[in-house]
Structure 1
């Protein structure tokens, strides 16, 4: 008896993994054995089940996805990625406000996976997060869009600028006003790389208040996402993701949230 399609795909790791493998391109039987680390005899009945649904086909022991198989495998991969991102940090996602993420990007949140939750211990919860600094300090490119300002990150940003990082900082209006009043060198007091932000050597943008996330930072290597909790309270924890797909997702979120922002004149010219 033919099982239902969703059971065919998801109730067998061998079948699921084969579909995902074939998304990379046609595979020989030897490719399948080696890449999936399976016994070929055990794979034959799984292949037959996928062939019954016309999801895969073969010629001369080379296996391919059918057109419908490719469509189903692509969407299955997207679902599996979302499940992985959610499952690995379920408590964080379930207890935080996701309304600041546009629906189109929330549908693709699986592009952040696999993701790591960064959190400070209680003794350092009000300090710059060491894991954040380690992930960002050597970046050659960085865009940060933020609804809060942690002055202890000034030292990190100044180091990045001195190392030649192409740094863009996007802040909500009220946060930017505070930076100007307290953390920009005014030429009269003693200059201090820890206290003052070298804003003249970075690109600055200001957006209206009401940003629905605490922060999204994207470098040449990582995407770092911070969210308010379900009661719209600040939370110092971050979701850290690596890879091109995560970076592209993060840059798209920055673009969406910074629409209508205004450029602040600095020494940096595009």
Structure 2
């Protein structure tokens, strides 16, 4: 049975939740923590007379249970509520940053992380516009300066980035960077080579190369996430637009993306 057939078969059950504001709000509120009836009245703005029948339905469906006048999600309720929350976060993130997603190449991000894109809802997109020239670049340099650790994936290298990383490594900040092989080859023939050689003896610095083009620019620190992408054609890297997040969920998502790239780099067994 495919997804469409399952939907047709379960249409009434699915729509019962999505059509009902109260059912949805109850499940989402209980997904955060247990609640008393008075708390649910405050959260939903509804009366006890309106809420109680919905609670009885959710109890009959074995999605919630009561203990000492508090309502809790059952184990199956936790599954339904968490997926419900994920669906709203996913759609919300796509709509909130629709121009960012639609104008950029997403194929460089693995599918399992795209499915978790809702983690980036509490983010902002910065652009270089008008008098805000190098707005994205300067915010990224600020991130590096304030970081307690740095994990980066880079499709381009600039003198500013190189100098900032160089200084942070010398200060003892743990830094791990991943670059594609064509950038690695450029570094070996450029003025950056002297800085790379100077950092080789630092145990807190690791530079890795991956044997494929990276269609994203990523900086993840203990405090912030920066994500830049190639333009829609997948050819030109967009240095004028970036998604930034201070939210722990967004930072964790960025760390998972870095971990994916790091796994690919280690598999390639290419280290400078």
Shorter chain as denominator, the TM-score bin is 0.7 to 0.9
Match of residue 233 from structure 2? 231
Measure how far apart 1:148 and its partner are: 1.4
1:38 maps to 2:38: no
Q: Deviations over 1:194-244 (max 9, x none)?
A: xx6764443211111322x23122111222211112211211211112333
Match of residue 193 from structure 1? none
Q: Please say if residues 26 and 62 of structure 1, whose CA atoms lie closer than 8 Å, have aligned partners that are also in contact.
A: yes
Equivalenced residues, count: 252
TM-score (norm 2): 0.79
1:54-65 equivalences under 5 Å are 54-65=62-73
Separation in structure 2 between the aligned mates of residue 210 and residue 92 of structure 1, nearest angstrom: 21
Measure how far apart 1:109 and its partner are: 1.5
Measure how far apart 1:21 and its partner are: 2.0
**Aligned Cα root-mean-square deviation (Å):** 2.8
Paired residue for 2:222, among 217, 220, 223? 220
1:196-207 equivalences under 5 Å are 199-200=199-200, 201=202, 202-207=205-210
Measure how far apart 1:95 and its partner are: 2.1
Separation in structure 1 between the aligned mates of residue 81 and residue 52 of structure 2, nearest angstrom: 19
Unaligned runs of 5+ in 1: 187-195, 266-270
Q: Please say if residues 28 and 81 of structure 2, whose CA atoms lie closer than 8 Å, have aligned partners that are also in contact.
A: yes
Separation in structure 1 between the aligned mates of residue 114 and residue 191 of structure 2, nearest angstrom: 34
TM-score (norm 1): 0.79
Q: Please say if residues 142 and 220 of structure 1, whose CA atoms lie closer than 8 Å, have aligned partners that are also in contact.
A: yes
Measure how far apart 1:249 and its partner are: 2.1
Q: Deviations over 1:15-68 (max 9, x none)?
A: 32321221233222233345x263543534543554464433334431122333
Q: Please say if residues 57 and 64 of structure 1, whose CA atoms lie closer than 8 Å, have aligned partners that are also in contact.
A: yes
Q: Please say if residues 55 and 66 of structure 1, whose CA atoms lie closer than 8 Å, have aligned partners that are also in contact.
A: yes
Separation in structure 1 between the aligned mates of residue 170 and residue 41 of structure 2, nearest angstrom: 50
Instruction: Give the SS at the match of 2:213.
Output: coil
Separation in structure 2 between the aligned mates of residue 210 and residue 216 of structure 1, nearest angstrom: 14
Paired residue for 1:251, among 249, 252, 255? 255
Structure with a larger share of its residues in helix = 2
